[in-house]
Structure 1
Amino acid sequence: MGKGYSVWVASNSYVVGSFACIGGGLFGLDISSMSGVLNNPYYLDTFDHPGSSAQGGIVAAMPAGSLVGALSVSYLADKLGRRNTIIFGSMFWILGSILQAAAVNRGMLVAGRIISGFSVGICSATVPLYQSEMTKPSIRGRMVALQQWSITWGILLQYFIQFGCSEINSTASFRIPWSLQLIPALVLGIGLLFFPESPRWLVDHDRREEALGVLADVHGKGNTQDELVQIEYHEIVNQVEFERREGAKSYADLLKRGVARRVGLGTSLQMWSQLTGMNIMMYYVVYVFEGAGITGRRGNLIASSVNYVLNVALTIPAIIYIDRWGRRPMLLIGLACMATFLYLVGGLQGGFGNWGTVEGESKPVWVISDNDSVTKAVIVMSYLFVCSFAITMGPVSWTYPAEIFPMRVRAKAVALSTASNWTFNCALAWAVPPLLEHISYKTYFIFAAFNSAAFIHVFFMFPETCGRTLEDMEDIFGQGHVFQAWKIKRTVGVKTLDQVAHEKPTTTHIEDKTDSTSKVEETAATTA
């Protein structure tokens, strides 16, 4: 089986893990597909000048569909496989893009966004799952973090396409960008046909020879007898056999001791990622800079574009160093910084703003006028907020839930975690325009408080998982009722390749799991 794959496709963990990230790019494309048209006169005329509630509903249609899509992964990823589920999701994106590009009224636009959202929900839950099961522990965080980077690239590319089309004096100014976004889905769906299935899924479906071939291709340059490949293969087999003895895979397993805690961490982290306030900066960045005093459609679009460039650029350090810095430090530092910058934005707007009118808006908005220094300060704080999210919470919020669950419930638990993301994404997408309209600058204080609460939660409840194998998470979360997350450190002590090569993996007893786990993790750390 392993020899059947193209060498270029299957022999490199980075190639396998990064290509799937196109699924994350679909999410990014959809985010900025609306932010760039909010003050487009042709968009407004075509869809009857939607008010704050109506516009919130249009934007929220995508995360509403994503919620359903993410929940469906709990069945699809176990039934169809990780790879085929992503391919399935790409088909819905193509259909949704066609409907959006051809929309002539709000109903058709909302329908297209719901279908596209269903695709995004499937891909956003399955891509990290696929990546985490295809990569070594030493680079797992880096590869799953690429999911977030692909999201930022999707946001950036779609926004600049819309920026370029904004000079077109017709509905083509928004129909062309909405049409072009189906191209990545075509590439993803067709390209994944040439990629391997997750070895953990293959073992779980009694296709062990295929699983060994995939592991050999991805981690051992095609050599099925490679010591590290054998260790990881037997580790997965032991874990699957153990979980089968534990009972059937069901939603009831999510409530079992040791698992329920992880479900709470995964769902809450995805919730906090939305409650940080990043939605404001991505979906409604045009409104944010209107409040800062930047008027005029072109000037606003240029200022907003910097946000997206920074989002892409500052995700790169996180990808490179996430497996060195660790998950906890990134979360804690990021949340503290985001809370600080939002408090400053709210304070500056509250202290120097007033109700007024701006170009393209019929209703009064809270705006800073005739104060360039304060306007620049608000813009800088907004940029720093985006940078803080991009380098910390953004990538970790996808990495952490994908690596903490046992295999028997991994698909269901990751799907539930991602569903939490989309639940709050949908609620905030709908709520932010009315909030900005009615309480203006106070909106920033609300999200600053959320960041402060998240900091406390992470400090007391989120242990470090950096460098651990997926099967090794049982040791982290199996410490009884007293759980002091801040005392749990990453793994220490590294063996050389020669030491591991002379140690035979054990294949018969699940009790040997911890020993082989440490070998995989320590060797991976050595080779990274």
Structure 2
Amino acid sequence: MVRLLNVYTISSFISLAGLLYGFDIASISGIVTTKQYIEYYGNPVGIRQGGIISAVAAGSLAGALSSSFLGDRLSRKVSTQLGAVLWCIGASLQSASTSIAMLVIGRIFAGFCIGITSVLVPIYQSEIAPRKIRGRIVTLQHFALAWGIVIMYFIQYGCSFLDSQAVFRLPWAIQAVPGIFLFMGLFWLPLSPRWLASKNRWDEVLQVLAFLRTPDCDSNDPLVLAEYKEIEEQAREHGEEWNTYREVFGKKLRKRLFIAMAVQGWSQLGGVGVLLYGVILPLKSAGVSNARLAASICYIIFVVATIPTILWTDHWGRRSSLLVGALSAALWSFMIGGLFMRFGEPNPVPDQQYTWIIVDKPIASRCIQASVYLLSATFAMSWGPIEWMYPPEIIPLHVRCTAVSLSTSTNWVIILALLLAVLPLWLRIHWGVFFMFGFLNLGAFIYVWLAVPETKQRTLEEMDEIFEHGEQLWRSFTGAGARYSNRLDLLAKDFEQGKISIHPRRPRRNNDIERTANSSTSQTLFDGTSG
């Protein structure tokens, strides 16, 4: 009999935070082109429109930066609850807004929630997941985001047939519903075992690991004890230096921090994240009939394309997915830009949200539509989910919150800049925007090839050895780094054979550790004061 609360159901539920982000993308994407929105807010275009859309990114940046302190002090779970409260406040302000200023404030509140949860939910999922399915577990966050886009887009699509302000007020109000469910349901979820370890609550660490790893909560299971031991060893190694900026920017960790920031940054520089906010605009520019319905198909493809990543990302690996994704995204970006350049012409109608159009060229229009779909699918299968799973994987526990908040802040800085810049650029350089994104995707491919190591099938505690074994990072899974992929299994075997044992009590972070000589994997015997 499958237990109701397990790693899959826990991770799926907390992924409602991703649903919130998807709701925001789809609601603003569909609403900005409605007649009621344009008339009520005075036809915002260019910088004004970019400011409204990017307000969420500004709030997300603030939320991501604050998540370091909140996630460490309040826990990943409680901080996510706080984010859900802020989300409901933001949804209320947006739905009741009477001016652009009030709308922007509401979107900043919503963004603050997205910033907090975009850091802490992947961390929480990474810290509760077994190493062999960690990619699958963290990808559920992206899957929920994709579903949020689809659900809200069809809500907004249905509301678009109304002849009142409910066209935009009703979708923004509905956004509060999953926020309420997320806040209430989190009371029943366990705390992260790694966060408990950071607070020296070692009895609870063992209890939560047993709950997450075994159907009968067996705290004597060898794999549970082996994982407990790895967590303790890393905690003891770093002493009292927890989540400090001195450690994050120190010589030992700054390379990992930069890689985490770069993966998040290149993901957004590829342009697909911004495209999702306004996919209807290039479709309308291309002369696609019923662009609103065509945009909904794009979002459905985005959901479907995420499913193979959930099932096989732990087999494909992170590195190969990023490489193939970057090359494919570059191809589709160049295709869209080239078709617009060859078959497009200036828009003769002034004061429109697009100044370059394709008229009476159905084959070119369909090719652009297909390329947009393929670009969306490529992102959903590669950079979209991996940008969230990769930073928590490579950052050690004692600085995880701080470092991941910095890497995710990079994500939001770039989104903010792009949302402010892309709409004005779309009005001025038209198809050149897609060529720009194509070359940026090529840059992402080169960076991943030279600098990004593989992390699949390894525990979070093994990352230190991956980054410190001395070989080039890009050979990490085929070279010496592969030696460490079965370390946890060897440690579990030692427990099973009775070569080592632990006392589930709080170990001191000094040298009062008994050592045994009969362990082939590790010689530490825990013995500390109760806590």
Q: TM-score, normalised by structure 1?
A: 0.91
SS at 1:224 equivalent: coil
Match of 2:369 in 1: 379
Match of 2:218 in 1: 223
Distance 1:279 1:248, change over 3 A: closer
Distance 1:313 1:516, change over 3 A: farther
Match of 1:18 in 2: 12
Distance 1:119 1:473, change over 3 A: same
* Aligned match for 1:447, one of 418, 424, 437: 437
| Distance (Å, rounded) in 2 between the aligned partners of 1:272 and 1:383 | 20
* Aligned match for 1:485, one of 462, 474, 488: 474
Contact 2:467 2:473 in 1 (8 A): no
* Aligned match for 2:314, one of 296, 307, 323: 323
Q: Does 1:177 align with 2:171?
A: yes
Q: Which stretch shows the higher mean deviation, 220-229 or 318-327?
A: 220-229
Distance 1:363 1:308, change over 3 A: closer
Structure 1 letter corresponding to 2:425: L
Structure 2 letter corresponding to 1:281: L
Structure 1 letter corresponding to 2:475: W
* Aligned match for 2:347, one of 344, 352, 356: 356
SS at 1:225 equivalent: coil
SS at 1:197 equivalent: coil
> Map of 1:372-521 to 2, 5 A cutoff?
372-480=362-470, 483-489=472-478, 491=482, 501-502=496-497, 504-505=499-500, 508=513, 515=521
Q: Deviations over 1:432-475 (max 9, x none)?
A: 11011000000000011110000000000001011110000000
Q: Which stretch shows the higher mean deviation, 491-500 or 204-213?
A: 491-500
SS at 1:421 equivalent: helix
Match of 1:3 in 2: none
Distance 1:320 1:170, change over 3 A: same
SS at 1:468 equivalent: coil
Instruction: Report the Cα offset of residue 118 of structure 1.
Output: 0.2
Q: Which stretch shows the higher mean deviation, 491-500 or 115-124?
A: 491-500
Deviating runs (4+, > 2 A) in structure 1?
Answer: 7-10, 360-364, 486-517
Q: Does 1:165 align with 2:159?
A: yes
Contact 1:9 1:16 in 2 (8 A): no
| Distance (Å, rounded) in 1 between the aligned partners of 2:382 and 2:310 | 10
Match of 1:235 in 2: 230
Instruction: Report the Cα offset of residue 65 of structure 1.
Output: 0.2
Q: Does 1:137 align with 2:137?
A: no
Distance 1:515 1:452, change over 3 A: farther
Structure 2 letter corresponding to 1:463: P
Instruction: Report the Cα offset of residue 290 of structure 1.
Output: 1.6
| Distance (Å, rounded) in 1 between the aligned partners of 2:62 and 2:280 | 28
Structure 2 letter corresponding to 1:242: E
Distance 1:248 1:128, change over 3 A: closer
* Aligned match for 1:32, one of 10, 20, 26: 26
Contact 1:315 1:390 in 2 (8 A): yes
Instruction: Report the Cα offset of residue 284 of structure 1.
Output: 1.1
Structure 2 letter corresponding to 1:234: K
Contact 2:336 2:372 in 1 (8 A): yes
Structure 2 letter corresponding to 1:462: V
Contact 1:152 1:312 in 2 (8 A): yes
Match of 1:46 in 2: 40
Q: Does 1:338 align with 2:332?
A: no
Contact 1:459 1:486 in 2 (8 A): no
Match of 1:252 in 2: 246
Match of 1:520 in 2: none
Structure 2 letter corresponding to 1:372: P
| Distance (Å, rounded) in 1 between the aligned partners of 2:227 and 2:66 | 29
Instruction: Report the Cα offset of residue 362 of structure 1.
Output: 3.8
| Distance (Å, rounded) in 1 between the aligned partners of 2:284 and 2:498 | 64
Contact 2:242 2:399 in 1 (8 A): no
Structure 2 letter corresponding to 1:223: D
Q: Deviations over 1:81-117 (max 9, x none)?
A: 1111111111000000000000111000000000000
Contact 1:472 1:514 in 2 (8 A): no
Q: Deviations over 1:29-70 (max 9, x none)?
A: 111111001210111111111121100000010000000000
| RMSD (Å) for aligned C-alpha atoms | 2.3
Q: TM-score, normalised by structure 2?
A: 0.91
| Distance (Å, rounded) in 2 between the aligned partners of 1:328 and 1:201 | 28
Instruction: Report the Cα offset of residue 515 of structure 1.
Output: 3.9
Instruction: Report the Cα offset of residue 314 of structure 1.
Output: 0.3
Structure 1 letter corresponding to 2:238: E
Distance 1:84 1:511, change over 3 A: farther
Contact 2:135 2:456 in 1 (8 A): yes
SS at 2:239 equivalent: helix
SS at 2:356 equivalent: strand
Distance 1:49 1:411, change over 3 A: same
Instruction: Report the Cα offset of residue 491 of structure 1.
Output: 3.9
Contact 1:328 1:463 in 2 (8 A): yes
Match of 1:293 in 2: 287
SS at 2:164 equivalent: coil
Match of 2:149 in 1: 155
Contact 1:266 1:414 in 2 (8 A): yes
Match of 1:525 in 2: none
Distance 1:225 1:160, change over 3 A: same
In the alignment of these two chains, the number of paired residues is 504
Distance 1:226 1:60, change over 3 A: same
Contact 2:269 2:441 in 1 (8 A): yes
Distance 1:498 1:446, change over 3 A: same
Q: Deviations over 1:381-414 (max 9, x none)?
A: 1111111111111111111111001111000011
Match of 2:49 in 1: 55
Unaligned regions of 5+ residues in structure 1, if any? 1-6, 518-528
Contact 2:56 2:108 in 1 (8 A): yes
Match of 2:81 in 1: 87
Structure 2 letter corresponding to 1:322: T
Instruction: Report the Cα offset of residue 220 of structure 1.
Output: 1.8
| Distance (Å, rounded) in 1 between the aligned partners of 2:382 and 2:264 | 13
Structure 1 letter corresponding to 2:104: V
Unaligned regions of 5+ residues in structure 2, if any? 503-512, 524-531
Structure 1 letter corresponding to 2:229: H
SS at 1:36 equivalent: helix
Contact 1:238 1:510 in 2 (8 A): no
Contact 1:16 1:134 in 2 (8 A): no
Instruction: Report the Cα offset of residue 505 of structure 1.
Output: 4.5
| Distance (Å, rounded) in 2 between the aligned partners of 1:505 and 1:165 | 63
Match of 1:365 in 2: 355
Instruction: Report the Cα offset of residue 249 of structure 1.
Output: 3.5
| Distance (Å, rounded) in 2 between the aligned partners of 1:441 and 1:331 | 25
| Distance (Å, rounded) in 2 between the aligned partners of 1:399 and 1:478 | 21
Distance 1:220 1:60, change over 3 A: same
